[in-house]
Structure 1
Amino acid sequence: MSPAEITILMFGSFFILLMVGVPLAWTTAALGLFFTYFLWGVGNLNIIVLRIYDVMGSFSLVAIPLFVFMGNILQQSGIAEDLFHAIHVWLGRLKGGLAAATIVLCCILGAMIGTAGADITITGLICLPFMLQRGYDRKMALGAIASGGALGVLIPPSIMFIIYGVTTGQSIGKLFMGGIGPGLLFGGLYIVYILTKCHLNPTAGPPATEDERNMTFREKLGLTRSLLLPILLIIAVMGAIFFGVATPGEASGIGALGALVCAAVRKTLTWGNLKQSLFATMKTVGLIMWIVFGAMVFICTYTLAGGAEFVRESLTALPLGPWGILILMQLILLALGMVLDIIGITVLFAPMFVPVIKELGFDPLWFGVLFNLNLQIAYLSPPFGYSLFYLKGVAPSDVTMTELYKSALPFMLLQVIGMIICMLFPPVITWLPSVMIK
C-alpha cells in the first residue's frame, strides 16, 4: 500500500471517527494500533510501546504537571482578583481602561498559569461582570477576554510550547523566550484597538468612577503590592531559564514552590485549596497526556508507513516557493483549528511540518512560535473556538454564541496583523532566544 493511500485511509478514518463523536485520544490511538496491525502484524506492536515509553521518559514533560500545579495554586489563592483591581486603579482614568486592564491581567495570568482555558475562565468570572456593570460595549468586553485569555498559548510558561518542544525536539527554553515578544505585541495591539475605539466612541468604555479616579498615589501603591509576589515569581521562573540557571523542567519546580510560598504569605494555603489544586492538576495533566500518547501512536504508525516523507515530498514539490509553502501550512493550521483540539494539532502535524521547514531553509524556532500563533487564532476561530466556549460557560445566560463569534472577529483580524508582523520581522520572535545564556 502506497503512502498516498495510507494518508487517505488514516486521515479519512480520523475525521470520520471525530465526526461521530469518538474522543480525540481514543481515535488516534485506535487508528494507530489498527493500522500497525493491518500493515505489519502483531509482532510490530512493540514499536508503539517503545515510542510511548520514549516520550514518557522525556524529562521536559515534568514541566507540565508542575506548571499546571503552579497555576492552580495561584488561582486558588485569590491573586487574580487583587491583580485586576490593582491594574484597574492605574488605567481607570482612560476610556476603555477596564478592558485594557483585562488584557494586562490576561498577560500576567498567562505567565502565572500557562493555560489559556484557566486564563479565560478567571478573567471571565472577575472582569466581565465588572465591565458590563460599568456599561461597556458587550462585544468589546467579550472579545477582550476571549482574545486576551488566548495569549496563554504564547506567553511562557505555555504548556503548548512544552508539548511542541517535546514533539519536535526543539529547545523548550528558547520557545518560551520566543513567545514573549509576540505575546507582548499581540497584547499591545489589543490595547491600542480598545483605547482607540473608546476614544472615538466614549460610550463603548466609560472611564472609572470619580472616587476611583481621585485615589491618592499612596492608595494606588498600596493596592499594587498585590502585584509584587506574582511578578517576582514570574521573574524568578523566566530568569532561571533565560540565564541558563535551570532547564524548563527545573524552573517549573521553582514555580510550583514559589506558588506555595505566595499562597502561604496570603494565608490561603489551606488543605482544602491544596487538595482542589492537586485534583485539578491531575485532571488537566491526564487529559493532556492521553491526547499526547494517542497522537504519538497515530503519528508513529503514519511515519513508519512513509507518510511523513510523503507529506514532505508533496509540499516541497508544490510550485509555490518557500514562502508560498509556509503560508499554505499556516492556512492548513487555521483550518484545522476550526475543528480540532490544539494539542492534537500540535502532536499530529508539527512532526510532519518541521522537516519541511528545515528543508526550505527557515529557522525551526521561528516556525515553532509561528505554529503557536496559528493555534492562538484557532482558539477564537468559529465554529469550535475553545476561547468562546470557555467564555460562554462563565458569561451571563443572555450572551449567545452568535454574539461571541461577532465579538471575536476584530480581535482575530488583529491576530492576523500581528502574525504578519512576526513573519516579516523575525527578530520579534528570535531576538530574545538569541541572547539567552546557554
Structure 2
Amino acid sequence: MSYEMIALMMFSSMMLLLLTGQRVFGVIGFVGAASALLLWGDGGVEMPFNASFVLMNWYPLLTLPLFVFMGYMLSESGIAGDLYEMFHVWMGSLRGGLAVGTIGLMVVVSAMNGLSVAGMAIGASIALPELLRRGYDKIMVTGVIQAGSSLGILVPPSVVLVLYGMIARQPVGKLWLAGAIPGLILAAMFVIYIVVRCRLQPSLGPALPPEERDMSLGARLKLLRAGILPLLIFFSMTGLFLMGVTSLVESAAYGAFAATLAALFKGRLTRAVIEVTVRRTLGISCMFMWIILAALSFGAVFDGLGAVRAIENVFLDRMGLGPWEILLMMQLSYILMGMFLDDTAMLVIVAPLYVPLVVSLGFDPVWYGVLYTITVQIAYMTPPFGYNLFLMRAMAPPEVSLGDIYRSVWPFVLIMLLGLGLITVFPQLALWLPELYYGY
C-alpha cells in the first residue's frame, strides 16, 4: 500500500470516528497510536509516549492557563459587567447603540481572555437579556453576540494564535500584531452594519429613553473609569512583552496576577469567584492539553509517512493546481471541518500538514495564521452544524429559537467573508504592523 493511501485511510478513519460523537482527543490519539502500532510494530508505541514528553517540555504552553485564568477572573469578578454598563450609558442615545456597545464589550473581553467561548458566555448572559428587554430585534442581537464573540481568537492575546505559533513555529508577538488590525477592521465593519441597518429600520434597535441616558458628566466619567482598569491590564501586559521586558510566559503571569489584584481592588475577590475561576481554567486548559497531546502523536505518524510531501505532490503535480487554488481548497476544508470540530481541533489536525505547504507555495505563514482564524470563525457560524450556533442555542433564552439563530448569522457571515477577502487580497493589512515593529 502506498504512503498516500495510508495517509488517506488515517485521515478518513479519523473523520469517520469523529462523526460517532466520541471526544476529539480520544479519536485523534487512538488513530495516531493504532496507526503507529500497525505500521511499525511494538516500536510504534514510542511515538505517543514521546509526544507526551514534547508537550510537557513545551514551556510556552504555560501561557494557556494563565491567559484563561486572567479572562475568567475579570469576568467572574463582574468587571465585564461594569464595562457593559459603561457602554450602555455612553452609546444608549444612538439607534442600535446598545448593540454597538455589545461589539465594544466583545472587543475588550477578547483582549482580556483570547477565547471566543468566553465572549459568547458574557454576551449571552449579560448583554442579550438587556438587549431583548430594551426592545431590540432578537434575530439581529443574537447575530451581534455571535459575531462579536468571533473576535476572541483574533484580537490579542489570542490563545488560538499562541497555539498556532507553537505548531507553526512562528513568533507569537508577530501573530498577535498581525491579528490586531484585521480584528479591529471586522469590529468596525460590524458596527457600521449595525448603525446603518438601525437607521434604516429604527424598530430593530431603539435608542434609550432620555430619562435613562441623561446623567451628569461626573456620573458618566465615573462609569468610564470602569473600562480603564481592564484596558490598563491589557496594554501593560502586551506592552511589556513587545518591548522585550518580559517573555511571553512572564507577560501571561503578569496578566493573571494583575487581574487578581484588580478583583481585590474592586472588593470582589471572594472565595466563590476564585473557585469558579480555577475550575473553569482547569477545565479549559486540560481540554487544550489533551487535544494537543493527541495531535502531536497523530502528526508524528503523518510526518513519518511523508504525508506532507505526498499532499503537495497530489495538489501540484497530479491535479495541476496553482498556489491560490490550493489556498482556496484549504480554506474550504476548514469550512467543512467547522461543522463538527472546534478551532483548536482543526488547528492541531491540519496545521502540521498545511503550514509546510503554505510555506512551500511562497505564502507568509504569519499572514496565513490570520486567514485561518477568520475562516474557522466563519465555519463556526455557518449553518447547519456551526459550533457557535449550538453554543448560542444552549445559552439563549427560550424565546430565541434555533431558526432565529440560523437567520441571525448570515449578515455577519457575509461581512466576515468580505473581511477575509480584503485581507487575502491585501496581505499588508495583517503584515504591516509586525513588519513595522519587528522590521522583517
Instruction: Give me the TM-score of the superposition, normalised by structure 2.
Output: 0.97
User: Are 2:36 and 2:47, in contact at CA under 8 Å, matched by a contact in 1?
Assistant: no
User: Are 2:7 and 2:305, in contact at CA under 8 Å, matched by a contact in 1?
Assistant: no
User: Are 1:107 and 1:152, in contact at CA under 8 Å, matched by a contact in 2?
Assistant: yes
Deviation at 1:242, TM superposition (A): 2.2
Specify the SS of the correspondent of 1:208: coil
Specify the SS of the correspondent of 2:353: helix
Superimposed CA distance per residue, residues 19-68 of structure 1 (whole angstroms, 9 cap, x where no aligned partner):
22221111011111111000000123213322331232111101001001
User: Are 2:51 and 2:293, in contact at CA under 8 Å, matched by a contact in 1?
Assistant: no
Equivalent residues in 2 for 1:135-214, closer than 5 Å: 135-214=135-214
Distance in 1, matches of 2:218 and 2:316, equals 61
Q: What residue number does 1:374 align with?
A: 375
Q: What residue number does 1:39 align with?
A: 39
Deviation at 1:216, TM superposition (A): 2.6
Counterpart residue type for residue 212 of structure 2: E
Q: What residue number does 2:351 align with?
A: 350
User: Are 1:114 and 1:155, in contact at CA under 8 Å, matched by a contact in 2?
Assistant: yes
Specify the SS of the correspondent of 2:170: coil
Distance in 1, matches of 2:267 and 2:89, equals 24
Distance in 2, matches of 1:305 and 1:320, equals 23
Distance in 2, matches of 1:418 and 1:264, equals 40
Distance in 1, matches of 2:395 and 2:169, equals 37
Superimposed CA distance per residue, residues 390-412 of structure 1 (whole angstroms, 9 cap, x where no aligned partner):
22222111222121111011100
User: Are 2:28 and 2:295, in contact at CA under 8 Å, matched by a contact in 1?
Assistant: yes
Superimposed CA distance per residue, residues 100-157 of structure 1 (whole angstroms, 9 cap, x where no aligned partner):
0000000000000111111101111111111111111111100000110111011111
User: Are 2:81 and 2:126, in contact at CA under 8 Å, matched by a contact in 1?
Assistant: yes
Equivalent residues in 2 for 1:33-432, closer than 5 Å: 33-317=33-317, 318-432=319-433
Counterpart residue type for residue 248 of structure 1: L
Superimposed CA distance per residue, residues 351-409 of structure 1 (whole angstroms, 9 cap, x where no aligned partner):
11111111111111111111111112122122332222222222111222121111011
Counterpart residue type for residue 121 of structure 2: T
Specify the SS of the correspondent of 2:368: helix
Specify the SS of the correspondent of 1:225: helix
Deviates more, 1:273-282 or 1:23-32: 273-282
User: Are 1:114 and 1:157, in contact at CA under 8 Å, matched by a contact in 2?
Assistant: yes
Deviation at 1:433, TM superposition (A): 1.2
Distance in 1, matches of 2:246 and 2:313, equals 39
User: Are 1:243 and 1:436, in contact at CA under 8 Å, matched by a contact in 2?
Assistant: no
Specify the SS of the correspondent of 1:45: helix
Deviation at 1:437, TM superposition (A): 5.2
User: Are 2:162 and 2:172, in contact at CA under 8 Å, matched by a contact in 1?
Assistant: yes
User: Are 2:14 and 2:28, in contact at CA under 8 Å, matched by a contact in 1?
Assistant: yes
Distance in 2, matches of 1:35 and 1:335, equals 24
Distance in 2, matches of 1:226 and 1:178, equals 28
Distance in 2, matches of 1:18 and 1:342, equals 15
Identity, in percent, stands at 37
User: Are 1:243 and 1:437, in contact at CA under 8 Å, matched by a contact in 2?
Assistant: no
Deviation at 1:274, TM superposition (A): 1.2
Counterpart residue type for residue 27 of structure 1: V
User: Are 2:341 and 2:387, in contact at CA under 8 Å, matched by a contact in 1?
Assistant: no
Q: What residue number does 1:435 align with?
A: 436
Specify the SS of the correspondent of 1:155: coil
Deviates more, 1:211-220 or 1:324-333: 211-220
Distance in 2, matches of 1:240 and 1:212, equals 40
Superimposed CA distance per residue, residues 72-115 of structure 1 (whole angstroms, 9 cap, x where no aligned partner):
11111101111011012121111100100000000000000111
Distance in 2, matches of 1:267 and 1:172, equals 34
User: Are 1:107 and 1:155, in contact at CA under 8 Å, matched by a contact in 2?
Assistant: yes
Deviates more, 1:188-197 or 1:131-140: 131-140
Distance in 2, matches of 1:394 and 1:388, equals 10
Deviates more, 1:382-391 or 1:325-334: 382-391
Distance in 1, matches of 2:7 and 2:21, equals 21
Distance in 2, matches of 1:125 and 1:171, equals 35
Deviates more, 1:94-103 or 1:305-314: 305-314
Distance in 1, matches of 2:114 and 2:133, equals 29
Deviates more, 1:153-162 or 1:207-216: 207-216
Deviation at 1:247, TM superposition (A): 2.5
Distance in 2, matches of 1:252 and 1:28, equals 29
Q: What residue number does 1:11 align with?
A: 11
Aligned residues, how many? 438
User: Are 1:32 and 1:298, in contact at CA under 8 Å, matched by a contact in 2?
Assistant: yes
Distance in 1, matches of 2:337 and 2:152, equals 19
Specify the SS of the correspondent of 2:437: coil
Any gaps of 5 or more consecutive residues in structure 1?
A: none
Distance in 2, matches of 1:214 and 1:271, equals 37
Any gaps of 5 or more consecutive residues in structure 2?
A: none
Counterpart residue type for residue 53 of structure 2: Y
User: Are 2:75 and 2:81, in contact at CA under 8 Å, matched by a contact in 1?
Assistant: no
1:25 and 2:25 matched: yes
Counterpart residue type for residue 183 of structure 2: G
Superimposed CA distance per residue, residues 199-253 of structure 1 (whole angstroms, 9 cap, x where no aligned partner):
0011110011212332232221111111111010010112122222223222101
Counterpart residue type for residue 299 of structure 1: G
Distance in 2, matches of 1:397 and 1:213, equals 29
Counterpart residue type for residue 427 of structure 2: P
The list of structure 1 runs, each at least 4 consecutive aligned residues, that deviate by more than 3 angstroms after superposition, is: none
Superimposed CA distance per residue, residues 176-208 of structure 1 (whole angstroms, 9 cap, x where no aligned partner):
111111110111111100000000011110011
Instruction: Give me the TM-score of the superposition, normalised by structure 1.
Output: 0.97
